[in-house]
């Protein structure tokens, strides 16, 4: 192997054999050089590292116009919140039309059915769009070694729903500060998701997909908020309001905003998920002041920690306290939590 002098246009970037030949570099010179060879027909002066976008850019050069990144690769390029198990995947998901056939290359997972999916361009890369990528992820919840759970699918679905709302809100003449409170925008976003599901014929993981579709909600701001909401709802507690404004009982003013909120006859019941940043001293001080203000105005406030998300005695005790507060405050009637 020997060094090769490349035209300025090819320096520092991945390029195809055809591009090199067009610039006067013979194919034999490429094969006998010290260039990196990330995939068939693609070359680079320097190694393509572990960065997903860098690997995807190199692979994209070898993809035809009838292909797009999908599934885990698509979700990562769209910056959707995936669990660690899915993030460990190294191979790139490449989806093509059914009549073209799967792309088979080292480091690729061939997928088919692009004709039933919408495609967007992200940083110059063809990617299956938000909603269709979410539907594709349902396939990862089934099989012998699933890499996602149904809860993970709801986490991603909440993010997809909220992005649809943000896009629609930004297109309005008078955007709202909280688009998830706009009933028309929310209804339109749900319709878009349902239409995408209806376009599919027996998608893999359909039962889990429909389970998740019934549980995605607008307004959730983090994966842990989704998990907290599912813990209380799946335990049978009434559906909470999400990131809702809390006002004084006498209507005198705004008291704050709660992660999960129930409006009760004698005040509000509030569950606040406490992420890692809440352990900071200054944040903990601010949290305590906020909690005192809410409690002084008749609210029952329950901080929820990561440990409360895990099934067990601690979670059952937490849910029992929230259920008792709902009963005491005259809120929506909860079931008996055992």
Report pLDDT for 226. Answer: 97
Which of 17-31, 60-74, 95-109, 124-138 is least confident? 17-31
What pTM does this model have? Answer: 0.87
Comparing 98 with 82, the larger pLDDT belongs to 82
CATH architecture of the domain 223-329 equals: 3-Layer(aba) Sandwich (3.40)
Mean pLDDT across the chain, nearest whole number? Answer: 87
Decide if pLDDT at 96 tops 60: yes
Decide if pLDDT at 125 tops 50: yes
What confidence tens digit (pLDDT) does each residue in 261-303 have? 999 888 899 999 987 665 666 777 777 888 888 888 889 999 9
Report pLDDT for 45. Answer: 66
Comparing 114 with 58, the larger pLDDT belongs to 114
Decide if pLDDT at 7 tops 80: no
Decide if pLDDT at 54 tops 60: yes
What confidence tens digit (pLDDT) does each residue in 157-208 have? 999 999 999 999 999 988 988 999 999 999 999 999 999 999 998 899 999 9
Q: Where are the domains of the chain?
A: 8-44, 52-138, 150-213, 223-329
Report pLDDT for 9. Answer: 72
Q: Confidence class of residue 338 from pLDDT cuts 50, 70 and 90?
A: very low
Report pLDDT for 334. Answer: 56
Q: What is the spatial distance between Cα 299 and Cα 131, in angstroms, rounded to a whole number?
A: 38
What confidence tens digit (pLDDT) does each residue in 225-242 have? 999 999 999 999 999 999
């Amino acid at each position: 192997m020997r060094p090769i002098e490349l035209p300025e246009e090819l320096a520092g970037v991945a390029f195809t054999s055809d591009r090199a030949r067009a610039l006067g570099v013979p194919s034999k010179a490429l094969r006998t050089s010290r260039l990196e060879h990330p995939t068939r027909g693609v070359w680079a002066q320097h190694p393509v590292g572990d960065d997903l976008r860098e690997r995807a850019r190199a692979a994209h050069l070898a993809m035809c116009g009838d292909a797009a990144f999908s599934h885990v690769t698509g979700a990562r390029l769209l910056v959707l919140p995936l669990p660690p198990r899915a993030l460990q995947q190294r191979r790139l998901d490449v989806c093509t039309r059914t009549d073209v056939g799967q792309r088979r290359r080292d480091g690729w997972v061939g997928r088919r059915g692009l004709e039933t999916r919408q495609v967007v361009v992200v940083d110059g890369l063809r990617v299956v769009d938000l909603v269709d990528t979410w539907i594709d992820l349902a396939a990862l919840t089934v099989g012998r070694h699933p890499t996602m759970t149904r809860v993970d699918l709801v986490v991603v679905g909440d993010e997809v729903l909220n992005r649809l709302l943000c896009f629609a809100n930004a297109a309005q003449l008078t955007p709202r500060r909280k688009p998830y409170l706009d009933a028309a925008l929310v209804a339109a976003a749900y319709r878009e998701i349902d239409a995408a599901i209806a376009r599919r014929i027996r998608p893999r993981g359909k039962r889990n997909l429909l389970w998740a579709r019934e549980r995605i909600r607008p307004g959730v701001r983090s994966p842990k908020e989704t998990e907290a909401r599912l813990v209380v709802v799946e335990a049978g507690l009434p559906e909470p309001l999400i990131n809702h404004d809390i006002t004084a009982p006498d209507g005198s003013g705004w008291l704050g905003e709660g992660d999960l909120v129930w409006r009760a006859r004698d005040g509000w019941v509030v569950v606040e998920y406490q992420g890692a940043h809440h352990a900071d001293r200054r944040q903990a001080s601010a949290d305590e002041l906020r909690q005192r203000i809410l409690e002084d105005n008749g609210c029952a406030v329950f901080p929820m920690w990561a440990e409360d998300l895990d099934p067990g005695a601690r979670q059952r005790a937490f849910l029992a306290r929230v259920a008792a507060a709902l009963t005491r405050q005259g809120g929506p009637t909860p079931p008996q939590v055992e």
